[in-house]
C-alpha cells in the first residue's frame, strides 16, 4: 500500500456535505439562490453573533471584496493595501474602478505596515484594506484607529480569517466591513464562495442588490420564492450570488468548524511552532497572544538566501511547499516593479508555505519538520 502524497492544502469534505447537496437536489430541486442561501447567511450571522442582515454571501471571496469596494468607495479613490497579498485583493479594488496603493508589510506578521501606509495617504485616499495574513488579525485595533484618524473606510480582506478573534472579538464584528472566502481550501468551504459582513446597512443592501445585477431588492424576493419581472436598475451590478448547492455545503462546513477544523488547524500549527522554534536560518511569524488564530496557511521565512535550497530539498523528499505571495506591485498590471517596496520584496524572497490542512496527522507535521530541519542544518 502506498501512503497518499502529502498535500500543501486540500478540501476536507465527505458524506455530510454530499448528503446536504443531495437534499437540495432531490428534496428542494431549486439549485439557484433561494432558502438554503438565506439559511447559510443566518447560520454565519449566528456564529459571528451579528444580526442576519449584516451578512451577504457571494459566489467567491473575490466577488465579496469587489462588491464591498464598489459599495464603500467611489471610482478613482485610492485604497491602501499591502502588496503582499493574493492578487484578488488588488483585482477587487481595480475592478471597482478604485486604485490599489501598494503598502509595505511588517516582517514579523506580514500584515500591513501602518507607518508606511501613512506616508502614502493623499487627498484621494478613501479606504484601507488590511489583509489578515495567515489568519493573523494582529494590530486590527491600530488599523481601525488609523482609519478613524484619517477618515477612511476599513475593508478587511479576512479571506484567511474566518473563525478568528482579535482581542476577544470575532473577525467580522469590528464595525466596518470584513470579507471572507469559502473557496475549496479556506477555513471552511462552500465549494467556492465568500461573504461580506458589515453593520453598515447601506453597504449591506448595496452588496445584496449588486450581487444580483443591481436589481433592487431581488434578494428579498428570491428568499420568499418570488422573482422580479418588473424592476428597475440604478447602478452597475454583477452575477455574484451564491447558489443553494454551495450554501448546503457551507452550512455543513460551518457546523464542523468549531469542533473539528479549527482545533485541528490550531493543534497542527502549535506542533510546527514547537518543533521549529530556534531553528537556524528560520523565522516564524508572530501572533498576538490576545488573538485566536485559526490558521489557513503556515508560511515561514527562510533566511540567508537559503529558500531555494530548502524548497528543493523538501520537494525531493515529497513535501510540497507554496509561496504566499508574489508581491502585487511586481505584476505588470500593477506597475511591474516600477516602484520598490524593499521589505515586501525581501519577504517575497523568504516566505515559504508548509503543508497545512485538517486532514494531516501529527506524524505528517513531524515528517515536514524533520526534513526542514535537516535542510536548514
Ligand X SMILES: *Cc1c(COP(=O)(O)O)cnc(C)c1O
Q: Would you tell me which residues interact with ligand X (CB under 6 A)?
A: 60-62, 85-86, 88-89, 131, 157, 159-160, 181, 183, 194
CB of residue 227 vs ligand X: minimum separation in angstroms?
27
Burial 221-238 (b: 16+ CB within 10 A, else e): bbeeeeeeeeeeeeeebb
CB of residue 326 vs ligand X: minimum separation in angstroms?
13
> Residue 10 contacts by C-beta under 8 Å, 6 or more apart in sequence?
184, 185, 357, 359
Set of cell numbers at residue 257: 468548524
- Rank residues 317 and 320 by Cβ distance to ligand X and give the closer one: 320
CB of residue 122 vs ligand X: minimum separation in angstroms?
24
Sheet-wide strand order for 298-302: 282-284, 298-302, 351-354
- Rank residues 86 and 334 by Cβ distance to ligand X and give the closer one: 86
Ranked by CB distance to ligand X, the top (closest) residue is 61
Q: Quick count: other Cβ atoms within 10 Å of Cβ 330? A: 19
**What ranges in 166-231 are assigned the alpha helix state H?**
201-210, 218-223
- Rank residues 216 and 291 by Cβ distance to ligand X and give the closer one: 291
- Rank residues 298 and 372 by Cβ distance to ligand X and give the closer one: 298
CB of residue 86 vs ligand X: minimum separation in angstroms?
4
CB of residue 85 vs ligand X: minimum separation in angstroms?
5
- Rank residues 194 and 327 by Cβ distance to ligand X and give the closer one: 194
Q: Quick count: other Cβ atoms within 10 Å of Cβ 339? A: 11
CB of residue 112 vs ligand X: minimum separation in angstroms?
12
Beta bridge partners of 322: 353
- Rank residues 72 and 376 by Cβ distance to ligand X and give the closer one: 72
262's enclosing H/E stretch is helix 262-276
- Rank residues 61 and 139 by Cβ distance to ligand X and give the closer one: 61
CA dist 66 and 107 (Å) reads 27
Taking only Cα atoms into account, the Rg of the chain, rounded to an integer number of angstroms, comes to 21
CB of residue 195 vs ligand X: minimum separation in angstroms?
10
Hey, is 264 helix, strand or coil?
helix
> Residue 3 contacts by C-beta under 8 Å, 6 or more apart in sequence?
none
- Rank residues 55 and 131 by Cβ distance to ligand X and give the closer one: 131
CB of residue 329 vs ligand X: minimum separation in angstroms?
16
Amino acid at each position: 500500500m502506498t501512503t497518499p502524497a502529502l498535500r500543501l492544502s486540500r478540501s476536507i469534505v465527505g458524506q455530510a456535505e454530499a448528503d446536504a447537496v443531495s437534499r437540495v437536489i432531490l428534496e428542494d430541486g431549486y439549485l439557484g439562490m433561494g432558502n438554503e442561501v438565506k439559511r447559510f447567511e443566518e447560520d454565519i450571522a449566528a456564529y459571528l453573533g451579528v444580526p442576519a442582515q449584516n451578512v451577504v454571501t457571494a459566489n467567491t471571496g473575490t466577488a465579496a471584496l469587489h462588491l464591498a469596494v464598489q459599495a464603500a468607495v467611489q471610482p478613482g479613490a485610492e485604497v491602501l493595501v499591502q502588496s503582499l497579498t493574493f492578487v484578488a485583493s488588488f483585482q477587487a479594488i481595480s475592478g471597482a474602478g478604485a486604485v490599489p496603493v501598494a503598502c509595505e508589510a511588517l516582517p514579523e506578521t506580514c500584515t500591513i505596515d501602518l507607518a508606511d501606509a501613512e506616508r502614502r495617504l493623499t487627498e484621494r485616499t478613501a479606504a484601507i484594506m488590511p489583509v489578515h495574513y495567515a489568519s493573523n488579525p494582529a494590530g486590527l485595533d491600530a488599523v481601525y484607529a488609523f482609519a478613524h484618524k484619517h477618515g477612511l473606510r476599513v475593508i478587511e480582506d479576512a479571506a484567511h480569517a474566518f473563525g478568528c478573534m482579535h482581542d476577544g472579538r470575532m473577525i467580522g464584528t469590528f464595525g466596518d466591513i470584513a470579507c471572507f472566502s469559502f473557496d475549496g481550501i479556506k477555513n471552511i468551504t462552500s465549494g467556492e464562495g465568500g461573504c461580506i459582513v458589515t453593520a453598515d446597512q447601506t453597504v449591506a443592501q448595496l452588496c445584496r442588490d449588486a450581487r444580483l445585477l443591481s436589481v433592487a431588492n431581488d434578494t428579498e424576493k428570491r428568499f420568499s420564492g418570488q422573482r422580479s419581472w418588473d424592476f428597475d436598475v440604478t447602478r452597475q451590478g454583477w452575477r455574484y450570488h451564491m447558489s443553494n448547492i454551495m450554501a448546503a455545503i457551507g452550512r455543513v462546513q460551518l457546523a464542523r468548524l468549531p469542533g473539528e477544523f479549527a482545533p485541528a488547524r490550531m493543534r497542527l500549527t502549535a506542533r510546527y511552532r514547537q518543533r521549529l522554534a530556534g531553528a537556524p536560518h528560520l523565522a516564524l511569524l508572530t501572533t498576538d497572544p490576545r488573538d485566536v488564530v485559526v490558521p489557513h496557511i503556515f508560511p515561514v521565512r527562510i533566511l540567508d538566501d537559503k529558500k531555494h535550497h530548502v524548497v528543493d530539498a523538501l520537494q525531493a523528499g515529497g513535501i510540497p511547499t507554496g509561496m504566499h505571495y508574489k508581491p502585487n506591485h511586481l505584476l505588470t498590471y500593477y506597475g511591474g516593479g516600477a516602484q520598490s517596496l524593499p521589505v515586501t520584496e525581501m519577504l517575497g524572497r523568504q516566505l515559504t508555505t508548509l503543508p497545512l490542512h485538517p486532514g494531516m496527522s501529527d506524524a505528517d507535521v513531524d515528517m515536514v519538520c524533520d526534513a526542514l530541519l535537516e535542510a536548514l542544518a
